[in-house]
Structure 1
Amino acid sequence: MSLPPGFLDELRTRTSIAQVVGRKVSWDARKSNQGKGDMWAPCPFHQEKTASFHVDDKKGYYYCFGCHAKGDAISFVRETENVEFMEAVRILAQEVGMPIPERDPRAQEKADRISDLTEVMEAAVRFFRMSLRAAAGAEARAYLERRGLSEATQDTFEIGFAPPGWQGLWDHLSEKGVAPDRILDCGLARESQKGGKPYDVFRNRIMFPIRDPRGRCIAFGGRAMDPEDNAKYLNSPETALFDKSRVLYNLGRAREAAGRGEALVVAEGYMDVIAMAQAGIGAAVAPLGTAVTGEQLGLLWRVADEPVMALDGDRAGVQAAYRVIDTALPMIEAGKSLRFALMPEGQDPDDLIRASGVAALRERIEGALPMVELLWQRETEGRSFDSPERKAALDQALREVIGRIRDPSIRGHYGQAIRELRWQLFAPKRAARSGGGRWQPPQAPRPGTKASALAAADTATQERLREAVILAALAATPEVAVEFDGALERLDCRDGLHARLRDVILRHAGDGPDALREKAEAAIGREALENLMRLPHVALNPAIRRPGDPDLARMTVAEELAKISALKGIAEEISDAIEDLGGVADEALTWRLGQAAEARNRALRSQQEDKTEYDTADNGARINRDERHAFDALLDRITFSKPRR
């Protein structure tokens, strides 16, 4: 069966040969360097004790220095699984999610056509190189010199020049015997709309050949010499050779440099990549005039686990970074992410090198931000969160963004990182409200106080006692804490111990019960935490007695928060009523107080008690609630049915 041109190249690009080989061998941990994709193991093709079998995951091949076996992922599967070529292709394609194309009887013809087109492209490279050295290229040479590009760099990147004439390249290739349809199919010329001879796509431009990872020229990028030109940079149109969404400029050289341990850097344009390479940063690539695509991210992650996006230091550069985040979030997995190095305002990497030297750029790259921090910046920058509604809107936006992450483990870690950043954003306000977290003598009853203190205490004391229940319940079952973030932040927590414990829960609830307890003990002390848990109204609460029950913890916290809210409400109504008593006291005032009292009573009535099956009698005996209600109803009938005397 013949496969379409490019299919095997893409299959090899998507396949990690280290993963394929790793199923058959045990890597030598002392010789292998997983970060660089440089892996060693005893050879699976002959008996040996030493690790002479080498796999280069970046380049996609293996070689044994003992038996001299060599090949790529396809040949390894063929040899180890004893299958034919097409069966090995099917196995690997299924693993990476690539459907096998239908049989194409013209596949060989297309492959020959691709080979012909690449020959035409190489002829165009030579023409542009020759034109740069000719008299017509004097201005272009002067421009490159002003940009600081040495002749050696120009030779390395094969920089050329397209003359201003309309048919310079067309005439040159035609004289070489190249058929017109081949020139057009390469995207080097366009048909005239006026019936004349086809004209060159690139005119009066500095030319940058674009090569695929195998080193074949598949397209060109051109930088206009005329400042009035509508398109400063122009790429080849899409052809049988070129799909700009699947190509990265300089990927072949960058892959080799990254294999030597350099950080893979993604810039915005050709000149940035070339300037970095000349300054010694060889592992640099660039997309081709569009936002980074999912296919390009896949190419980057085949080369490096955490490519660094080095974007221009202007609003457009920041917006480009945000678009990359949206593309990457559904694709990230364990060990595969991005970092972001934003340039100074108004500069790109090339500008920074020329203004401050390569050390300044390296410093930016080494200090690149994790993706989660830039995501947080996007959702919070320039916005105020001075109301519960705005905070809730932030929470909703962040939940939606994090929800795009497919990997549940990474999604959880992102959630925890966002909680940490959220805590830092609102921590100053909480600290100011709670006296900076300093210890204040507790005014709540001591551990020996009876639970009836809840009923006997004033509003402030009741609030502290109920805060203790809330904090203890969340400490016992921290997985429900995220549901109450906003309510926790609004707790007054005048008791400094409560304030510190609340902040620990907000910050570390996602770490799990054991880790949270360790953080809590560090923040308030083990004895203080144990004393809190031993308070009778805390210790006897079902949510504390049954830790790890999310439904019970959720109900307890919601109930206690409602009670605190009701207590504050009645206190405010009474305060307002006292002021109103200075005027005329009427029925409206009485009605307001009555409604507030009823709201308080409804809130203070335990939801858990309402759902229990038994009541407790005066003598302490348990009475079935249904039976008690039936008995009360019978007494009522007896009482009202007695004849009057």
Structure 2
Amino acid sequence: MSLTPAFLDELRARTLLSSVIAPKVKLTRAGREWKACCPFHQEKTPSFTINDEKGFYHCFGCGAHGDAIRFLTEAGGLPFMEAVKELAGKAGMDVPAPDPRAREKQERTASLTDVTAAAQRWFAEQLAGIDGAPAREYLKRRAIDAAAVQRFGIGFAPEGRGRLKNALATLGEDRLVETGMLIRPDSGETYDRFRGRLMIPIRDVRKRVIGFGGRIIGEGEPKYLNSPETILFDKGRTLYNIDLASPASRTARRLIAVEGYMDVIALDRAGIAEAVAPNGTAVTEAQLERMWRLDPAPILCFDGDSAGQKAAIRAAARALPFLSAERTLRFVALPPGQDPDDLVRAGGRDAIERLLSAPEPLVDRVWRHEAEAAPLTTPEERAGLRQRLLAHVSAIGDKGLAQLYRDEWMQRFDALVRPQRGGPGRPFERRGRYVKGKGFVPPEPPTLAQTRVIGQRGLQDETLRAVLLGFTLFPAALADHSEALAHLMIADPGQARWRDRLVDAAMDGTLLDREGLRTILEANGTALPTSDERSSVAYTFTREESEPTLALRDLGEAVDTLAREHEVAAALDRATARLQAGDEAAFAEQVRLLRLKRENNERLASLAVSD
């Protein structure tokens, strides 16, 4: 059935929200609103408010929020359409006639859930019978008691190709096939899909059985066998235990995602009911969406082995396009070789809670994965790390958040691959950094010897002035090259201030055009060169009329070459000092660095264009 927004708005307008909620909780007048103890979590001091004028409720304790329809679905457990019909009846409104196809699908779904419910009852009977002895022994070894068996509806599918088929024959063979309980081969008779397996029912948020996960008892493959995709069961959109975890997450004010069914049951046994699991697949976008409805920062608690950590990173990558200020993920890695059941057995709930008390933010988890993915001993390997991090940044849909992630990762990257310098023969004590609230804090002023080294590079000075102008004329380049620009050693105070203002603008995340950036620079006392004062060495990026793609490419190449030139000059200074101290091995290093210096200068010269 398709209900129009206009109908739903009219229904909400005709409904007095407090009258819907009053039968569930005791309301107290608080000015123009009502207050009550929240029905979604336990509390002694009222933090649940109802606003009849605006038609919504909100709990300042657990964050529950919604209108009359949502209250009936979440607090009353009604299906959406049942909630709409109940409110419409009280408001004197007629619910629009259902679409025939939607009504047919709804009736068909209801019919098929009768089949899965009957199958679950039959599996439960088999677990309690003679055939269920091996399964009961398995449950005993896993410390899953009768209460947990009842709570999760666990059963057993005995060996035999036609046991369930014969037991549920009155429901119709076609419906048993349609729900995935029977397999229909291309030739021959249908037969039971699940045989010799512990049966774990998968329920939707309305507590209806929509599929099963079957764990083999003893040896054999596959270890787990799930129901196939059916009209009821879409494993990529379903979370195991969503029916029990949904209300529990409101009370606990968190949601935990683990790898499998038995992990959920183990946590529940320890008193942690707010756990869900994907159905034998990697976490999907649809499953992330369902998690975020319950908690803005779910905790993914996966095994500490290689497979578990790969699953965690895949989930992080899936989440990146959908991140926002209200949506993220957190991560906990279990000790290698242990699952939640092992931890519960060894240390009870306290062992689990110690891990969950300090989850790793998504920004840290992705950084750690990429930084540890490969050695960083060569420039190529370090460039690979940078590229991987920037690829993750580009996947983030929220551009403001993407810029923050970029700033964070590039700052860490710089600290990792360009460590602080100091000690004998290491002239630069520290590089500049961006400080929140203060903007860019430039490096310490160079020593006289450093200034002499910098001043000897005439071509570099010309290019440096041109590069600063290029970023001013083409501010789009700042997003990708602000880190390299920030770490250039600039002896001239005026040019240093010019550079700092450019980096500040980039760090602020403001989308600037050419005129807007000029205004900011001039307002901060930065005197920009006139066209007559510009460098005699011209580049595509110093000409306002240049084709932007070409100018941005050349500008990026120029600033990266200048950054390399500074590093080569510092290394050359150290090699020269070593040679003067009698270290003959430094001669070969000096020759290599002089060659690199020449190549850099040649590259800068090649970027110049004739007037």
- Structure 2-normalised TM-score? 0.66
CA 551–42 in structure 1, closer or farther in 2 if over 3 Å, else same: farther
Query: 1 CA distance for matches of 2:393 and 2:125?
Result: 53
Distance change >3 Å, CA 76–CA 44, structure 1 → 2: farther
Residue by residue over 1:436-465, the C-alpha shift from the partner in whole angstroms, topping out at 9 and shown as x without a partner, is: 5499996449xxxxxxxx9xx843555799
Please state if 1:173 is matched with 2:168: yes
* Partner residue, 2:110: 115
Paired position in structure 1 for 2:120: 125
Aligned twin of 2:483 = 485
Counterpart secondary structure, 2:416: helix
| Per-residue deviation, 1:485 | 3.2
Q: Distance in 2 between matches of 1:396 and 1:463?
A: 30
Structure 2 vs 1, CA of residues 324 and 482 (structure 1 numbering), >3 Å: closer, same or farther?
Answer: same
Aligned residue number for residue 459 of structure 1? 453
1:96-107 to structure 2, matched below 5 A, reads 105-107=100-102
Residue 262 of structure 1 and its aligned partner are, at CA, apart by: 3.5
Q: In 1, are the aligned partners of 2:410 and 2:483 still within 8 Å (CA)? A: no
**Matched residue type, 2:176:** I
Displacement of 1:567 after TM fit?
12
Contact 1:297–1:328, Cα closer than 8 Å, also in 2:
yes
Q: Which residue of 2 aligns with 1:184?
A: 177
Q: Distance in 2 between matches of 1:567 and 1:339?
A: 38
> 1:626 — aligned with what?
none
Aligned residue runs from structure 1 range 274-293, under 5 A: 274-293=265-284
Q: CA deviation at 1:82?
A: 11
Quote the Cα distance in structure 1 between the aligned partners of 2:600 and 2:214: 74
User: Residue 139 of structure 2 aligns with which residue?
Assistant: 144
How many corresponding residue pairs? 496
CA contact (8 A) 2:257 2:300 kept: yes
2:50 to 34, 41, 45: 41
**Alpha-carbon offset, residue 134 of structure 1:** 0.9
Letter of the 1:112 counterpart: E
Q: 1:284-314, CA deviations, whole angstroms, 9 ceiling, x for partnerless residues? A: 0011011111111111111111111111111
Cα shift at 1:188: 0.9
Q: 1:326 to 1:86 in 2, by over 3 A?
A: farther
Q: Distance in 2 between matches of 1:365 and 1:598?
A: 53
Structure-2 separation of matches of 1:598 and 1:296 = 53
Give the Cα–Cα distance (whole angstroms) in 2 for the partners of residues 425 and 485 of structure 1: 14
1:606 CA drift (Å): 13
Contact 1:563 1:604 in 2 (8 A): no
Q: 1:332 to 1:158 in 2, by over 3 A?
A: same
1:300: which partner in 2? 291
* Superposed counterparts of 1:344-383, under 5 Å: 344-383=335-374
1:257 equivalenced with 2:257 (yes/no): no
Look up the match of 1:215. Answer: 207
Q: What is aligned with 2:434?
A: none
**Structure 1 pair 116–390 and aligned structure 2 pair: CA distance change class (3 A):** same
Q: How many angstroms apart in 2 are the aligned matches of 1:142 and 1:222?
A: 16
1:625 paired residue number: none
Partner residue in 2 for 1:450: none
* Aligned equivalents of 1:375, 1:116: Cα separation in 2: 45
Amino acid in the other structure paired with 2:256: V
Indicate yes or no: 2:504 matched with 1:512.
Answer: no
Q: Deviation per CA, 1:410-445, whole angstroms, max 9, x where unpaired? A: 111211221232233235354574565499996449
**CA distance in structure 2 between the partners assigned to 1:428 and 1:556 by the alignment:** 23
Partners of 1:56 and 1:440 lie apart in 2 by 52
SS at match of 1:155: helix
The change in CA–CA distance for 1:118 and 1:356 in structure 2 (over 3 A counts) is same
Shift of residue 59, structure 1, vs aligned partner: 11
- What value does the CA root-mean-square deviation take over the aligned residues? 5.5
Superimposed CA distance per residue, residues 48-103 of structure 1 (whole angstroms, 9 cap, x where no aligned partner): xxx9xx9654996237xxxxxx9999689989x9997569xxxxxxxxxxxxxxx9
Q: 1:404 aligns with which of 381, 395, 402?
A: 395
SS at match of 1:260: helix
CA contact (8 A) 1:459 1:567 kept: no
Structure 2 distance, partners of 1:190, 1:597, is 73
Please give the secondary structure, in 2, of the residue aligned with 1:245: coil
Describe the SS at the equivalent of 1:113. Answer: helix
1:16-27 paired onto structure 2 within 5 Å: none
The gaps in structure 2 that reach 5 residues or longer are: 9-16, 18-30, 73-78, 432-442, 511-524, 534-540, 544-551, 581-593
Flag the 1:137–1:358 CA change in 2: closer, same or farther, 3 A.
Answer: same
Cα offsets for 1:349-380 (capped at 9, x unmatched): 22222233322222222211111222222322
Q: How does 1:443-592 map to 2 (within 5 A)?
A: 443-444=447-448, 458-459=452-453, 462=456, 480=478, 482-483=480-481, 485-486=483-484, 511-512=507-508, 542=529, 562=562, 565=565
- Counterpart residue number, 2:27: none
Indicate if the aligned counterparts of 1:463 and 1:564 stay in contact, CA closer than 8 A. Answer: no
**Residues of 1 paired with 2:334 and 2:455: CA distance?**
54
Rounded to whole Å, the distance in 1 between the matches of 2:135 and 2:160 is 15
TM-score (norm 1): 0.63
Look up the SS of the partner of 2:171 in the other structure.
Answer: coil
Taking a change above 3 Å as real, the CA distance of residues 293 and 458 of structure 1, as seen in their structure-2 partners, is: closer
For residue 205 of structure 1, what is the aligned residue in structure 2?
Answer: 197
The 1:425–1:193 alpha-carbon spacing in structure 2 relative to 1, beyond 3 Å, is same
**Cα contact 2:482–2:503 (8 A) shared by 1:** no
